[in-house]
Structure 1
């Protein structure tokens, strides 16, 4: 089947050149869920682009009768971040002009849903599918007000315009998948949200991190938090509802790289997820998720280690290693300007856990990231 391809204007530069988003819509013969998948929100995190490219190649080989619903794909979703360079390196994690993280800029309806209890009480005896549509309508009505600000003579900062463009095409999705990598060097894993453990297994990753602690207005968070809040409100009023709305962030290894194993794992996981959710109707995909052992932990159990002195990192423990409290994690050989010989500082683990993320640069200023452990 062939996609509908849309090119969305994004930004005009001082030179007169323009940036665009490219959206690929695969629309099935039967109605169903809407799946939104994007990649490269942070400039150095490019592995998801390969996943989307290979997913497009796969979808071209199936018939529209093999797809129930729609799959919307946006590779290279942040051209500003993707094109940013510092010598040979591709940072692109922040909008430098506004000093904002590209993945902490999105509109979150939950923060302005002051009448949530009133709405929930009005929906207590209504079918969940109708409740979903009623709530989505309210979210869309509130979101539409942003366009008035964008089109006003005073305009808005670019990050607001950019956030609007991405959310405008994803707000009504049922399933949202945001493809990332570490900015540094990391394992493959996924982030998931409350009460979505069973679906997390469909991706076939070795471990997943429950987002029980939020950093800010990230893309996946802003999408699903209103629905989690509504579920919690129903529960307080005595009715258990779990909406078939899910958001995922897949972390596919290391930044500035398209590691073939990480790409293959991401592609296999996305395809299997779509099959298990009834979006893809293909039978020739192997499914080992029923027997796959997956380890779950939570974001509140992550521990990041920052350099306690400036210097050079040596003897650092390998990525993917399991550690016990008290094990040596790394050494810093630290120079000084005090007329003394260089010193070697040993840093040990404060807790048991798995080393899931390590810094690419082994020269550190005091206070810079060295590695991350999750227990």
Structure 2
């Protein structure tokens, strides 16, 4: 099937050029859920674009009767960050003019209302689908109100216009997938939210990290946080409720690289997720065989973001003998050495750095020359294996 393609202007530049992005909308023949998938919110994190490209090619071969609902794909969603360079290196993690992380700018409904408990009380006896519609209407009404400032003479900073365009596309989705990779070197894993652990397994990645600490400013957080808040209010009122609303961030490998393994894992995981959630009902035996094989041999470890610890250089120097990415370490194991130079007429010294906890090396710096206080590696404690 062919997608509906919409080109959306993103920013009018001083040169007269207009930066844009495109949305590829695959509309199924039957009603169902809306899935929103985007990539490249951070400039160096490009692997998601290859994932979306392969999903596009796959969906072109799918009949519209095999999709229940809609699948929206948005590659290269942030032209400003993608085009940002320092010498030969992509950066684009921050909006330079506003000094803001591109993934810490998003609008969170919960921060702009104080009546979620009141809303829950008014909806306590209603059907869940009716509650979902009513709550989404309330969110969208508040969100649309942002246009008054955006369209005013005084206007708003660019990040607020940018976030509005992305969130206006995704705010009514049922399932949201934001494709990232590490700015440095990293493993493949998925961030998930409470009560969504079973669905996290559908992505067939080796590690799931629960976002037990968040403030709502990231893209996935801003999307799901209001729904988690409403679930909590219902629980306090004695009604156990779980909305079929899910948000995911897939961390796929290393920045500035199209790592084939990360691409393959991302594509396979998203296909499996779409099948397991009933959005993709493909008759393709090859796809079913691939998914069956991947699921049968899959093992997944779980952790929480609060159990992750970053290690920063205690002094400046050159990193050597660093433990490899993906290694399991015990407290007291040597993580790396710093070859420290001086200007005091003395010989260089070697400083050993040891692990403070058991865990898995999930993030590692690319640059082995560090100034004091710069990031070296990340270690996360794995709490279970299923």
**What SS does the aligned partner of 1:92 have?**
coil
Corresponding residue number in structure 1 for 2:33: 33
Shift of 1:71: 0.4
Q: Residue in 1 aligned with 2:345?
A: 339
| Aligned equivalents of 1:6, 1:338: Cα separation in 2 | 63
1:127 aligned to 2:127? yes
Is 1:266 aligned with 2:266? yes
Q: Does 1:137 align with 2:112?
A: no
> Matched residues in 2 for 1:243 and 1:41: separation?
27
For 1:25-104, what aligned pairs fall within 5 Å after superposition?
Answer: 25-104=25-104
How far apart, in 2, do the equivalents of 1:213 and 1:241 lie? 21
2:332 pairs with 1:326: yes
| 3-state SS, counterpart of residue 329 of structure 1 | strand
Map of 2:384 onto structure 1: none
Matches within 5 A, 1:160-175: 160-175=160-175
Rounded Cα–Cα distance in structure 2 between residues aligned with 1:292 and 1:259: 20
Give the paired residue count.
Answer: 375
Question: What secondary structure does 2:143 align onto?
Answer: helix
Shift of 1:338: 2.6
Contact kept, 8 Å, 2:108 with 2:216, in 1: the verdict is no
Shift, 1:341, TM fit: 2.0
Compared CA separation, residues 183 and 226, structure 1 to 2 (3 A): same
How far apart are residue 164 of structure 1 and its match?
Answer: 0.5
In 1, Cα distance between equivalents of 2:149 and 2:22: 24
Between the aligned partners of 1:44 and 1:215, the Cα distance in structure 2 is: 24
Using the alignment, how far apart are the partners of 2:36 and 2:260 within structure 1?
23
Structure 2 unpaired stretches of 5+: 382-386
Cross-structure match for 1:159: 159
Question: Is residue 233 of structure 1 aligned with residue 233 of structure 2?
Answer: yes
Separation of aligned partners in 1, 2:89 and 2:241: 46
Residue 188 (structure 1) aligns with? 188
Return the offset for 1:292.
2.2
SS in 1 for 2:120: helix
Which of 302, 307, 313 aligns to 2:319? It is 313
SS of residue in 2 equivalent to 1:351: coil
Q: Which runs of 5+ in 1 are unaligned?
A: none
Tell me if the contact between 1:22 and 1:74 (Cα under 8 Å) persists in the aligned partners: yes
Q: Which of 375, 378, 381 is the equivalent residue of 1:372?
A: 378
Distance 2:215 2:21 in 1: 26
Map Cα deviations across residues 58-87 of structure 1 (whole Å, 9 max, x no partner): 000011000000000100000100000111
Cα offset for 1:290?
Answer: 5.6
What does residue 210 of structure 1 align with? Answer: 210
CA contact (8 A) 1:94 1:100 kept: yes
For 1:228 and 1:216, how far apart are their aligned partners in 2? 11
The Cα shift of 1:289 comes to 2.7
> How far 1:111 sits from its partner (Å)?
1.1
Distance 2:121 2:193 in 1: 24
| Residues 1:358 and 2:364 aligned together | yes
Could you list the structure 1 runs, at least 4 aligned residues long, displaced by more than 6 angstroms after superposition.
none
Secondary structure in 2 matching 1:249 = strand
Cα displacement (A) at 1:216: 5.3
Partner Cα separation in structure 2 for residue 203 and residue 258 of structure 1:
19
Partner residue, 1:105: 105
